[in-house]
Amino acid sequence: MIRVLVAEDSVTFRLMLVEMMRSDAEIEVVGEASNGQEAIDMTRRLRPDVVTMDIHMPVLNGLDATKQIMIHTPTPIVIVSGSLDPHDVAFSMYALRAGALALLPKPQGPGAGDFDRTVKRFTETIKAMAQVKVVRHWALRQPLAVEGPPAVPVRETRVRVLAITASTGGPTALNRLFSSLHGDLGASILVVQHMVPEFIEGLASWLNLNAALRVKVAEDREPLLPGVAYLAPDNRHLGVSASQTVLLSCDPPIDGFRPSGTFLFASVARVYGPAAAGLILTGMGRDGVEGLRELHKAGGHIMAQDEETSVVFGMPGEAIASGCTHRVLPLAQIPGYLGQLLNNRSQSP
C-alpha cells in the first residue's frame, strides 16, 4: 500500500482528493491536513510515502511547508494547484524548486466529462512519485564541488540547434541550466517538458526570471533564433520544418506523449543532422529514446544527465542503455559543456 497524506484547506476539495485516491486499491490515505503547519507535523509523525500539497493554505502556505518537509522529513511531494494566475503558477514552480516532484491541477469534480481520466492520471502520478528516492533539500542547495566539464570532442560541423527533453524534475533542472547559460548562444534551443495542461506559459515565465537567454512557448512557423529557448505548447508535438522554422504538429501521441521527445529528436535529426545536439534530462519512462537513435545515426551529439543528479533516472537511464549518448554529465557540469559545444566558450558555474 502507498500511504498518502493530503494537505488541503478546502474541506470540499480535500474530501474529493481523498475519495479519488481511495478509488485505487493500492493507495491508503493516512492523514488529512488543513494547513501547512499540520502538513509538516503529520509528515513527521505519520511518515507517509507521498504528500499532496495545496499551495494556498492558512497558518503556513504550501511553498513554505514544502521547504520545511524537504529539510526535516524528506518525502515525495505532489503540488496540487487550482489557479492559473501567474503569481500562483510561480508559487507552484518555486515549490518544485524547493523539492516537490510533480505538479497536478485541481480536478473539476465528478461532473466534469473527463473526471475518470483525471482520477486515473492523479492516482498514477501518486504511485509513480512514491517510488522516487528524495534527499534533504538543504544538501541540494549547497554549492556542488564538481570538476569542470570534460572537453567537447572536435567536431567538423557547428551545432546550430539543441533539443532537450525532460519530465519529472525537469522544471528545476531547466531553471538551473538556463540561469547558467549566456544569452548570446550560437544555437537555438527546443524543449519538450512533460507538463500538466495550461501550466507551460507559467513555466516559461518562471524560467525567464533568472535566464539570460529568452524562454518562450513556441509558435508554429516562427523563425528559430540563436539564444532563444522554445518550449513545446500544450498537446502539440514540437519539431523543425525543412525551412528551419518551428513546426507544431497534432500527429498522434508517441508512446502516450504529445509533445514527445522522440518527435523532437527525430525532427532535428532530419533537418539539421550533425548540426544538431540532443540532451535528455531527468524524467520517468523512456520518452525520447527512439528519436535519439535517429539523431545518433544522423551524426548529432547526444548528452544525458547522470543518475546522481537526476530526480528520476528513467529517461536518461534508457538513453544511456541505448548506446546513443556521447556524454553523461552531472547537472552542474552541463552548462559549461554546452557553452563549449554551442559557442566554444565557458559558461558561469
Report, as residue numbers or ranges, the catalytic residues. 167, 194, 287
Find out whether 73 and 98 touch, Cβ atoms under 8 Å.
no
Give CA–CA dist 169/100, Å, rounded. Answer: 8
Give CA–CA dist 189/176, Å, rounded. Answer: 15
Beta bridge partners of 276: 161
Positive/negative CA dihedral, 55, 60, 64, 65: negative
Find out whether 246 and 218 touch, Cβ atoms under 8 Å.
yes
Provide the CB-side half-sphere exposure for 19 (13 A, CA): 11
Give CA–CA dist 191/270, Å, rounded. Answer: 17
- Residue 285 phi, psi (nearest 5): 85, -150
Give CA–CA dist 69/13, Å, rounded. Answer: 22
Positive/negative CA dihedral, 41, 46, 51, 53: negative
Q: Hey, what's the torsion of the CAs at 243, 215, 170, 138, to 10 degrees?
A: 160
Closest alpha carbon to 55 in 26, 87, 79, 86: 79
Give CA–CA dist 258/58, Å, rounded. Answer: 37
**C-alpha cell of residue 219:** 509558435
User: CA-based angle 310:316:318, to the nearest 5?
Assistant: 140
C-alpha distances in angstroms, 135 versus 60, 69, 77, 310? 22, 11, 12, 11
Residue with cell 491536513: 33
